[in-house]
A = this chain, B = another copy of it.
């Protein structure tokens, strides 16, 4: 494993999202507005519908599923890095419905907030930059100079 350089912690945020917000878009916008180029995100809350992806490792594409019912967000976990020089949020979520059924996956646009509590920790150092990786078919990190 290559040597990793430590980062410094930058700005720290804790805030709520509002009913009706698109969860992914709102976090994406928050990071772009505040120019958070590198960091981690987590949160809990509830949504009125969820759109989640699963990456098909053989076909190298995301399968997208829209779940059109209410969920508690059990965990929302991810990070911020750069893609084509803009902050990009990458989040995975697990959720449960009112019947006790659990769903999860890669968070996509089309997930509507009922109420969410979000934590963002900016990291200061060489921001990670997403580039398409031909082996896996996904965009993965390379270090880049600021």
Contact = CB atoms under 8 A, between A and B. Distances in A.
Interface of A: 1, 4, 6-9, 11-16, 19, 26, 29-30, 33-34, 38, 40, 42-44, 46, 48, 54-57, 63, 65, 70, 72-75, 77-79, 90-98, 100, 102-106, 114-115, 117, 119, 123, 128, 133, 135-136, 138, 140-141
A13 to B, nearest CB: 5
A7 B1 contact: no
Contact of A94 (B38, B75, B115, B135): B75
Most chain-B Cβ atoms within 10 A of its Cβ — which of A8, A54, A92? Answer: A92
Given A114-B136, A135-B19, A140-B16, A104 B74 contact: yes
Contacts of A13: 4, 6-7
Q: How many copies does the complex hold?
A: 3
A92 B73 contact: yes
A2 to B, nearest CB: 8
B30 A14 contact: no
A106 B74 CA distance: 8
Given A55-B46, A117-B90, A19 B100 contact: no
9 contacts: A1-B29, A7-B13, A7-B14, A42-B42, A44-B92, A54-B97, A77-B77, A94-B102, A102-B102
